[in-house]
Structure 1
Amino acid sequence: MSLDLRWSTDLVTFFDPPYWGLPADLPYDDWEREVDNDPRRFFDRMLDEAAQVGLAGIELAPAPGGWVNALNAYGTAAAFKRELDRRNLQMSSSYVLPVFLKAAIDASDPRAQADANRALEEDTARHAAFLREVGCPTMVTSTIPRAPFSDIAGVEASAAAFDAPVDEHLMGVVAEQLDRIGRVAAAEGLHVAVHTDAYSLASRTDDIDLLMSLTDPARVKLCIDAGHIALDGGDPLAVVQRHAGRAPVLHWKDCASHLPPHTLSGPPMTRHDVMIKYFRVMGPDGVVDWAKWTQILRDQGWRGWGVAEIDMSPDPQRQIREGIDYFNRTLATDS
């Protein structure tokens, strides 16, 4: 029996500076400015190449490949949708960094809380209105880390803190804010899907179970990323077994091995640069058992979007094809 899915990619796959003729050591802030200065040039090429590789859709990425620059590139949501339509593309999903979410979680007094909640709702409403007009039902976001990282390069964080049980009060606060986002998105006919970022409150199986139990299943979904879960030493098969029915979007990405979170240090993008060296295209060279993953989905009758992506690929089209070709050769039908 064939699995009912359509393939998309996250635009972060196209974020490698040398792919655009830029220096390999270009700081991320400078990469953002390059795109901000001429978003149309970057978006046109990313959309063209997504269509050329035969994808059915794209997932908007964190800045500079997100919904704000899509608007900057084309002027209106309707104009952006026309660009997708003429390439026979749809939007599977749209990712937003949890900047406003984190501010709402961290608010220290009632006034700051009210201001943070308002900012979160307003940003979500603008994003949701854009997605409704484009015809995309799924807004993706992340939560927050399980424990603090060390911002000092070479200084490890606390392994015990990352491995300790999650504070249930904190998880309740996070769930409340996700429900807040979900209510705003629902007003536009959308839902929110929580991305299973490595080392976050939504990466390990028990944490995900708890978070899903505390949130509205009609409005708060999951975006299960196999590679991120495995990178954190978790079990992507267990997560997909328990929660595939609540996951309209799955990221089919692998990793080379577990990378302990406390060993990552330095500023966020420095840590990210280390993490992405561990990610792998879906295939035989990682740790995820894709045959079992696919069989679980088939047994549950899952249908939705599969996102074939790899952060900052030096050759996006080739690597997207590699993952999908692997699926078609070895996983597409029940053996």
Structure 2
Amino acid sequence: MASGDRLRFGVDLVTFFHPGFWGVADDGAIVEYARTEPRAFWDKILDSVQASGVTGVELTFSPFNWQDAIKTYGSVEAFEAELSGRGLTLCSGFFAELEAAGDFTQAEAQRAIIDKAERYADFLRACGSDIMVIGAPLRQTLGARPVRFHDFDRAKVIADFLNRLGAILYARGLRLALHTEAHSIFAAARDVDLMMLLTDPAYVHMCPDTAHIIVAGSDPVQLVDRHHERMIIAHWKDAIGPMPADTLIDEHIHDRHRPYFCGFGLGRVDWPAWIRLLRDRSFEGWAILELDAASDPVRDIANGLTLVRQALLPIYR
């Protein structure tokens, strides 16, 4: 089997969340354009993914989510036809509800999350995907009061819910993959080790994001090597280095991440070591060439894919 068959490349649609790509003033204007001109909005995204050279699409938050896609094209079948007509595959879907749920250890909140996850899972399966990438809850800002320690007892409560959610998704044909989101409870090396220890490997898998692991102050190659058997999909992204330990963690934390991300091959990720790890551990699956809000995403994704094919895939072979 050729290396190109064992590694398949896609993009997360957050890559297109940049005002410059849409010719508008700010993020709010992107959302407004998606609301008023949904067909033009989605056609441009899918045409751009096709033009970039990757073949996979990972859905994410609104206006790039599954509900928006169905509303725009009229049905699940119509959306899948738009993908396949361009030679594209829905490789995965990002689920951000844990981060937004507040105290999801409460039974009512858990029921709401499970309901949303089940409906999302049914959509993903109908489009041929079997992976739901899930963002973990955010950590607390260093020094905040009252202090909420992320210790064994708290982590176990979260892990128990993830185990149950993973089993529910498995029954619907989906695999749960935890995403290493910087400033969440699943990004820094110790936190990832703890959650991997407490969750059942049969039902809870891993989606490492190389850039977010660096922003969290850890080494993606060393970290993923310890848990390589849990990785079922990965986000390939670069970063210039770790953020300060006392970074404010609030609703704007994802905006604060952006200046630390950089073009593929221009940051701290040791890409030759990364691809050797995937080769030596016999990883096969989707590689998501994600960029957080690129002003020229087609060029950036295509350039990243060229670097991968010329410099990395020969190592992988």
Taking structure 2 as the reference length, the TM-score comes to 0.92
Q: Does 1:268 align with 2:251?
A: yes
Residue number among 124, 137, 140 corresponding to 1:144 in the alignment: 137
Residue number among 286, 300, 321 corresponding to 2:267 in the alignment: 286
Q: Does 1:246 align with 2:227?
A: no
How far apart in 2 are the matches of 1:213 and 1:296?
21
Q: Does 1:313 align with 2:294?
A: yes
**Aligned runs of 1:101-140 on 2, under 5 Å?**
102-103=101-102, 105-107=104-106, 113=107, 115-140=108-133
Residue number among 207, 211, 227 corresponding to 1:227 in the alignment: 211
How far off is 1:120 after superposition? 1.2
How far off is 1:282 after superposition? 2.1
How far off is 1:30 after superposition? 4.9
Q: Residue 10 of structure 1 aligns with which residue?
A: 12
Q: Residue 143 of structure 2 aligns with which residue?
A: 158
Q: Residue 93 of structure 2 aligns with which residue?
A: 94
SS at match of 1:201: coil
Identity %: 36
Tell me the matched-pair count: 314
Where does structure 1 differ by over 6 angstroms across 4 or more consecutive aligned residues?
159-162
Residue number among 185, 190, 194 corresponding to 1:206 in the alignment: 190
Residue number among 273, 280, 285 corresponding to 1:299 in the alignment: 280
Residue deviations 1:178-227 (CA, integer Å, cap 9, x gap): 12321221121111111100011110122212212222222211110000
For 1:251, the aligned partner's letter is: H
How far apart in 1 are the matches of 2:14 and 2:237?
13
SS at match of 2:101: helix
How far apart in 1 are the matches of 2:257 and 2:285?
27
How far apart in 1 are the matches of 2:240 and 2:100?
31
For 1:158, the aligned partner's letter is: G
Q: Does 1:328 align with 2:309?
A: yes
For 2:15, the aligned partner's letter is: T
How far apart in 2 are the matches of 1:257 and 1:180?
35
For 2:143, the aligned partner's letter is: S
Contact 1:61/1:95, CA 8 A, preserved across alignment: yes
How far apart in 2 are the matches of 1:141 and 1:68?
17
How far apart in 2 are the matches of 1:188 and 1:329?
39
Return 5+ residue gaps in structure 2 as ranges.
none
Contact 2:185/2:192, CA 8 A, preserved across alignment: yes
Taking structure 1 as the reference length, the TM-score comes to 0.87
How far off is 1:77 after superposition? 1.4
